[in-house]
Amino acid sequence: MANLKAIRKRISSVKSTQKITRAQKMVAGARLTRAQHRIQALRPYAVKTGQVLAEIAGSGPDEHEGSTTDSGHPLLARRAEKTVLLLVITSDRGLCGAFNTNILRAASKIWHEREAAGQAVKIVVIGRKGRDFFRRRNAPVLEVLAGVWEKLDIEQARNIARKVLTPFVSGEADSIYVVYNEFKSAMSQRVATEPLFPLQKAAPPSDAQAKEASASPDASADDVIQQREYLFEPDRKVLLERLIPMYIEVSILRALYESQASELGSRMTAMESATKKAAEMIGKYTLIYNRARQAAITTELMEIIGGAEALRE
């Protein structure tokens, strides 16, 4: 017969856990709403900034591997990828489902694939979960950025940009990739690996896009592509000097916002699932407790009846 006291303690313990998971879900849900509004406001701006910079940077003379553009800006240099820098964004805390597991698995895969291809890899980690993961595996961690999630703003993104760009400017790294979770919804997040530098060349528009963008509905795609010539004021070099820092900061800030929203969404989903599981366990143990209690009562009654019958005899 099950121990009634142990079952009662178990039910009480699960109820306490359920209160915690329910509170965690409510807090994550409240913070997710703000984070979602913030990323939805920033995302179009970040995407457009990258597109404008790519088109301005690509409008000059053709770039050759190992050289810089005519602007002479060191951040526009294109070199053979002998050393790759990965900026991996994880969380400081757990209880967020597969959020950290997915991002660390993806980053680890890139790390091993790049090394197998003969490239050197350096890793800059944001978040304690990523720090602990890579330290246990003796990964080539260049730097761990702590305290990022305590105050998330453009100044924080600027500090991170300085850390990751220093190896690129000095030639210690030939490219920079950001690995983070892109927010889709509270139930869905996608691991994204996006190049930060060197800049990706702007893709020419398709025939359909070119015709749609044309002022005349009868214009051909070639006519529109030829019209993609730019006049710069004050000049291209000054624009690049202003746009490049803006692109870096906004891109990193967007990745941080995406990651934060994804973490909160994953935590809310995980805590909701944990709360439901706790309710199922409470129901299960309550049923076991009632059956054990009924069995104990039945046993006591049988003993009383048996004793009474013995006295009659």
Q: What is the DSSP string of 104-142?
A: HHHHHHHHHHHHHTT-EEEEEEESHHHHHHHHHTT--EE
Look at residue 64 in the predicted model and tell me its pLDDT. 45
Q: Where are the alpha helices (DSSP H) in the chain?
A: 4-57, 99-116, 128-136, 154-170, 207-213, 221-226, 236-312
CB burial of residue 51 (10 Å; 0-12, 13-18, 19+): middle
Look at residue 230 in the predicted model and tell me its pLDDT. 62
> Could you report the per-residue pLDDT of 286-296, keeping only the tens digit for each?
998 888 888 88
Please state, in angstroms and rounded to a whole number, the distance separating the CA atoms of residues 206 and 57. Answer: 20
- Report the candidate in 82, 83, 129 with the shortest Cα–Cα distance to residue 104: 129
Please state, in angstroms and rounded to a whole number, the distance separating the CA atoms of residues 80 and 259. Answer: 30
> Could you report the per-residue pLDDT of 94-115, keeping only the tens digit for each?
888 889 999 999 999 999 999 9
Look at residue 58 in the predicted model and tell me its pLDDT. 66
Q: How far is CA 220 from CA 42, 175, 213, 228, 229, in A?
A: 34, 37, 11, 13, 16
- Report the candidate in 103, 240, 124 with the shortest Cα–Cα distance to residue 180: 103
CB 235 within 8 A of CB 56: no
CB burial of residue 8 (10 Å; 0-12, 13-18, 19+): middle
Average pLDDT over residues 264-276: 91
Please state, in angstroms and rounded to a whole number, the distance separating the CA atoms of residues 221 and 219. Answer: 7
Please state, in angstroms and rounded to a whole number, the distance separating the CA atoms of residues 84 and 120. Answer: 6
Look at residue 214 in the predicted model and tell me its pLDDT. 46
Please state, in angstroms and rounded to a whole number, the distance separating the CA atoms of residues 105 and 300. Answer: 58
Residue at 127: amino acid letter: G
Look at residue 169 in the predicted model and tell me its pLDDT. 84
- What angle (nearest 5°) sits at the alpha carbon of residue 281, between those of residues 2 and 101? 130
CB 187 within 8 A of CB 270: no
CB 164 within 8 A of CB 87: yes
Please state, in angstroms and rounded to a whole number, the distance separating the CA atoms of residues 215 and 65. Answer: 37
Look at residue 129 in the predicted model and tell me its pLDDT. 93
> Could you report the per-residue pLDDT of 189-225, keeping only the tens digit for each?
899 998 887 776 544 444 444 444 444 444 444 444 4
Is 143 strand, coil or helix? strand
> Could you report the per-residue pLDDT of 9-64, keeping only the tens digit for each?
999 999 999 999 999 899 998 889 888 888 888 888 888 888 888 777 766 554 44
- Report the candidate in 245, 243, 230, 66 with the shortest Cα–Cα distance to residue 158: 245
Q: What percent of the chain has pLDDT over 70?
A: 82
Look at residue 313 in the predicted model and tell me its pLDDT. 66
Model pTM?
A: 0.77
Look at residue 60 in the predicted model and tell me its pLDDT. 57
Q: Which CATH superfamily groups domain 19-210+228-270?
A: ATP synthase, F1 complex, gamma subunit (3.40.1380.10)
> Could you report the per-residue pLDDT of 124-182, keeping only the tens digit for each?
999 999 999 999 999 999 999 988 888 888 888 989 998 888 888 888 888 999 999 99
The catalytic residue positions are 96
Instruction: Say if residue 82's pLDDT is above 70.
Output: yes
Residues 6+ apart with CB under 8 A from 7: 285, 288, 289, 292
